[in-house]
């Protein structure tokens, strides 16, 4: 029988029983997953646990201020797992596919695996087989981890608070997407009691434009395709363009959000070419039309109004499938 945990207290009680713990998050981590694993790492260390953070791949540049390289083992560079793993906590996803090949390697050690997350379960993807704590009312996984650390009885310090403040601030995009709840602000207010340099966090997360990036953006914005009377926008970020402007993947991640600032747009579709035939799809909606079903169409997932996935095949094919689906959705309402 699958055990589902509904209270952070239960989760805390369970964690307390284990000593050899691994923390991880999804591939190409973002501020939420990264902040959670670092915060809990510091907290579990304070409790005297043997704890390791192991991620599939490296940490994007803009998070270097959290000094991730001091604490995180990168599985693609160093695939050696600790000899004993009793418990694995996975943050900010419940989709094991985006933790591979690390997920299978961890699983082979036969630990308990918990997903701690705020994403809906996939309608057409793998279900988390193991115990999970999923709170879709949370605007960030950081909110859940905040409560968890309180329940573990660990006192907050500047390191823990800065990591969690990064989670909450990043996932709410500076307190814009708060899921109609005061909780993100209440958590942030509490964290500010523990000397968080808020200006530094905001600057690293949101003010990291470069001259190259601005030149790239101006080119990309002139190439946007509009559909459905300007409600749907599509743009492709090609390897050729990213190479020409010398940008890495993480530096072009916010293009989707920038397109969403156009007033007529209800849905933005951005396809980033990661390899000649590997397309990273990102979808956003302002809330009238859901975009999860479009992501699932290509084997992806996410939230109702922010989703994505990977399409293997030519860019034009991915574009055709997704534009068709989204246009139908808009015209069927």
Which residues of this protein are in contact with Mn ion, per CB under 5 A? 32, 92, 141, 171
User: From CA 251, how far away is CA 54, in angstroms rounded?
Assistant: 23
CB closer to Mn ion, 111 vs 184: 184
Continuous segment of H or E residues that includes residue 213? helix 211-221
Q: What are phi and psi of 79, to 5 degrees?
A: -85, 15
Number of other CB atoms surrounding residue 228 within 10 Å: 19
Least distance CB 229 / Mn ion (angstroms): 32
CB of 36 to Mn ion, least distance (A): 8
Closest approach, Cβ 315 to Mn ion, in A, equals 27
Separation CA 324–CA 232 (nearest Å): 11
Preceding peptide of 195 cis, ω within 30°: no
Minimum CB separation from Mn ion for residue 48, in Å?
29
Helices (H), ranges, 47-130: 102-107
- By C-alpha distance, which of 135, 188, 158 is closest to 11? 135
Number of other CB atoms surrounding residue 242 within 10 Å: 18
Which CB atom, from 36 or from 236, has the smaller least distance to Mn ion?
36
CB of 163 to Mn ion, least distance (A): 14
Alpha carbons 305 and 289: distance in angstroms, whole number: 8
Query: What is the C-alpha to C-alpha distance for residues 293 and 322, in angstroms, rounded to an integer?
Result: 10
- Minimum distance between the CB of residue 195 and Mn ion, rounded to whole angstroms? 24
The phi and psi torsions of 116 (rounded to 5 degrees) equal -115, 110
Q: Measured between alpha carbons, how far apart are the two ends of the chain, in Å?
A: 40
DSSP single-letter state for residue 193: G
Nearer to Mn ion, 173 or 293 (CB): 173
d(CA 19, CA 100): 24
Residue 272 beta carbon to Mn ion: minimum distance, rounded to whole angstroms: 19
Nearer Cβ to Mn ion (91/234): 91
Residue number, 171 or 251, with CB nearest to Mn ion: 171
Distance in angstroms (rounded) separating the CA atoms of residues 88 and 98: 15
From the CB of 119, what's the least distance to Mn ion, in Å? 7
Q: Select the residue whose beta carbon is closest to Mn ion and give its number.
A: 32
4 DSSP assignment: B
The least CB distance from residue 244 to Mn ion, in Å, is 32
CA dihedral 147, 140, 171, 34 (to 10 degrees): 70
What gap in Å lies between CA 265 and CA 268, rounded to an integer? 7
């Amino acid at each position: 029988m699958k055990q589902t945990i509904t209270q952070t207290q239960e989760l805390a009680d369970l964690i307390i029983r284990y000593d050899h713990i691994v923390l991880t998050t999804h591939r190409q981590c973002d501020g939420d997953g990264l902040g959670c694993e670092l915060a809990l790492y510091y907290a579990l260390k304070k409790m005297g646990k043997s704890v390791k953070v192991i991620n599939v791949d490296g940490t994007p540049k803009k998070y270097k201020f959290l000094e991730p390289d001091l604490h995180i083992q990168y599985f693609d560079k160093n695939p050696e797992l600790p000899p004993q793993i009793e418990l694995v906590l996975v943050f900010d996803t419940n989709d094991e596919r985006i933790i591979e090949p690390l997920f299978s390697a961890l699983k082979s050690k036969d630990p308990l695996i918990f997903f701690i997350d705020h994403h809906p379960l996939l309608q057409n993807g793998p279900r988390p087989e193991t115990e999970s704590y999923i709170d879709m009312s949370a605007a960030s996984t950081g909110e859940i981890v905040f409560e968890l650390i309180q329940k573990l009885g660990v006192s907050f310090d500047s390191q823990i608070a800065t990591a969690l403040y990064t989670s909450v601030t990043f996932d709410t995009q500076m307190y814009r997407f708060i899921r109609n709840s005061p909780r993100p602000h209440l958590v942030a207010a509490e964290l500010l009691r523990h000397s968080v340099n808020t200006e530094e966090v905001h600057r690293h997360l949101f003010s990291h434009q470069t001259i190259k990036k601005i030149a790239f953006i101006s080119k990309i914005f002139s190439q946007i395709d509009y559909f459905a009377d300007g409600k749907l926008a599509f743009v492709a970020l090609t390897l050729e363009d990213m190479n020409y402007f010398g940008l890495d993947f993480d530096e072009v991640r916010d293009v989707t959000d920038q397109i969403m600032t156009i007033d007529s747009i209800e849905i933005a579709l951005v396809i980033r070419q990661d390899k000649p035939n590997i397309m990273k799809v990102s979808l956003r909606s302002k809330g009238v039309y859901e975009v999860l079903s479009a992501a699932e169409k290509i084997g992806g997932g996410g939230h109702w109004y922010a989703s994505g996935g990977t399409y293997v095949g030519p860019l034009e094919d991915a574009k055709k499938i997704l534009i068709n689906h989204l246009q139908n959705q808009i015209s069927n309402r």
